[in-house]
Amino acid sequence: MNNPLQSSNHFGNAVAYGARRNAVLRNTYWLLALSMLPTVLGAWIGVQTGITASLSGGLGLMVFLGGAFAFIYAIERTKNSAMGVPVLLAFTFFMGLMLSRLLGAVLGLSNGASLVMTAFGGTAGVFLIMANLSTVIKRDLSGLGKWLFVGALAIMAGAIINVFVGSTAAMAAIATLAILVFSLYLLYDLKRIVDGGETNYISATLGLYLSVFNIFQGLLIMLGLMSGDD
């Protein structure tokens, strides 16, 4: 015979678990949307002032990697404190600045503005698809994480090498791989949130933001290269 008190406790725990999961998902979406504002501001300042124009080649790579990893470390250290959100938003401003050099190059094309909007629309479309898939896929995707991490490392290594090689074909291949890998990373991270595997909304937002940033950057590179070949 079932114990009514035990059944009630199980029901209460399930409700509490669902509420926590929904709160993490809701806060993550809000913070991700908010993080776009510093990104746009940083990109606009970078394009208008040309502050990142001199950051090319090895110097630009050192500044980007050094700044990005320092911010990611700081975000993980402060994610459970009141400083977590400000540090994350400072990171997204930095990423906007770093993106401004590519944006400036694309905007310099005759149809640059439309290419940027197309990349933005494509990124939003990928996000909506993955967000919907994360709620309907029942399969456990945790095993996908290690393969995606290897893919991300391969992209980083290829990008570093290509800074010195300067191959347009390699750039296109790296951008295509980045779009694929980080689209799957979006699905993987969103599924973890939906399943309750990620309980900190700042960490969750960081993961989603990095995927969105890399998808947008990859699309921007591909569109710019295709337009430049016309």
Secondary structure string (H, E, C) spanning the chain? CCCHHHHHHHHHHHHHHHHHHHHHHHHHHHHHHHHHHHHHHHHHHHHHHCCCCCCCHHHHHHHHHHHHHHHHHHHHHHCCCCCHHHHHHHHHHHHHHHHHHHHHHHHCCCCHHHHHHHHHHHHHHHHHHHHHHHHHCCCCCCCHHHHHHHHHHHHHHHHHHHHHHCCHHHHHHHHHHHHHHHHHHHHHHHHHHHCCCCCCHHHHHHHHHHHHHHHHHHHHHHHHHHHHHC
Quickly tell me which residue has 């124009």 as its tokens: 53
Q: Which residue has the higher pLDDT, 113 or 14?
A: 113
Number of domains in the chain: 1
Tens-place pLDDT, residues 166-223: 889 999 999 999 999 999 999 999 999 988 888 899 999 999 999 999 999 999 999 9
- Mean pLDDT over 6-33 rounds to 71
| The pLDDT of residue 1 is above 80 | no
- Mean pLDDT over 50-57 rounds to 76
| Whole-number pLDDT of residue 230 | 47
The structure's pTM equals: 0.88
| The pLDDT of residue 19 is above 90 | no
* Spatial separation of the C-alpha atoms in residues 63 and 68, rounded to whole Å: 8
* Band of residue 11 on the pLDDT scale cut at 50, 70, 90: very low
* Spatial separation of the C-alpha atoms in residues 126 and 215, rounded to whole Å: 9
Tens-place pLDDT, residues 128-175: 999 999 889 888 888 888 999 999 999 999 988 988 888 899 999 999
Range of the domain at 54: 4-229
| Whole-number pLDDT of residue 4 | 58
* Spatial separation of the C-alpha atoms in residues 120 and 39, rounded to whole Å: 13
| The pLDDT of residue 118 is above 80 | yes
- Mean pLDDT over 69-79 rounds to 94
Q: Which residue has the higher pLDDT, 157 or 61?
A: 157
